[in-house]
């Protein structure tokens, strides 16, 4: 049983029964552009081998501070290498007074000495950083 719509015999307009996909394509293109812009912000350029640990995923916020410790024990503030722990202390002191206080994320190479990682944690504790997290990668096949 079909529905008939009455139309005058000389009407040129036909009923269009197709779905308009143009708004869908527009939304998808906007989302694609947003993802292309935000992905480089999330990735860091210092190559380290992160420890393998199953963990729940947590979104990174723009104001999060990332400190990286490479296999040789060098400390990086985002992508900038710090000459010593005094510079790290100074930068963490500036972050500690921010409201709301950003979270400190430590990206430590699995081969790094505990002493280097301990220096970062100790500097954060001395400056009153309330939230410290370690970035890891999930083991193979645990997703």
DSSP state of 127: H
Contact 44, 78 (CB under 8 A): yes
List the domains of the chain with CATH numbers.
65-134 (3.30.420.270)
| Residues forming beta bridges with residue 105, ordered by sequence position | 66, 133
Question: What pLDDT, on a 0 to 100 scale, did the predictor assign at position 19?
Answer: 81
pLDDT band for position 140 (50/70/90)? confident
The per-residue pLDDT for 7 is 63
pLDDT of residue 121: 93
Q: Could you report the per-residue pLDDT of 37-53, keeping only the tens digit for each? A: 877 666 666 777 777 76
Using DSSP, state whether 48 is helix, strand or coil: coil
Rounded Cα distance between 98 and 82, Å, is 21
More confident residue, 78 or 62: 78
3 state SS of 54: coil
pLDDT at 90 over 90: yes
Query: What is the DSSP code string of 72-113?
Result: T--EEETTEEPSSHHHHHHHHHHHHTSSSPPPEEEEE-TTS-
Q: Specify whether the backbone of 35 is left (phi greater than 0), alpha (psi in -120 to 50) or beta.
A: alpha
């Amino acid at each position: 049983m079909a529905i008939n719509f009455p139309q005058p015999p000389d009407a040129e307009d036909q009923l269009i029964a197709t779905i308009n996909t143009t708004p869908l394509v527009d939304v998808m293109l906007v989302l694609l552009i947003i993802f292309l812009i935000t992905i480089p912000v999330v990735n860091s350029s210092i190559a380290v081998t992160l420890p393998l640990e199953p963990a729940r995923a947590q979104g990174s916020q723009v104001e999060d501070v990332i400190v990286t410790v490479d296999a040789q024990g060098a400390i990086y503030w985002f992508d900038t290498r710090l000459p010593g722990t005094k510079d790290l202390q100074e930068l963490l002191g500036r972050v500690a007074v921010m409201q709301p206080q950003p979270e400190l994320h430590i990206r430590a190479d699995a081969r790094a000495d505990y002493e280097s990682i301990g220096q970062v944690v100790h500097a954060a504790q001395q400056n009153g950083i309330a939230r410290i997290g370690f970035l890891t990668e999930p083991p193979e096949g645990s997703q």
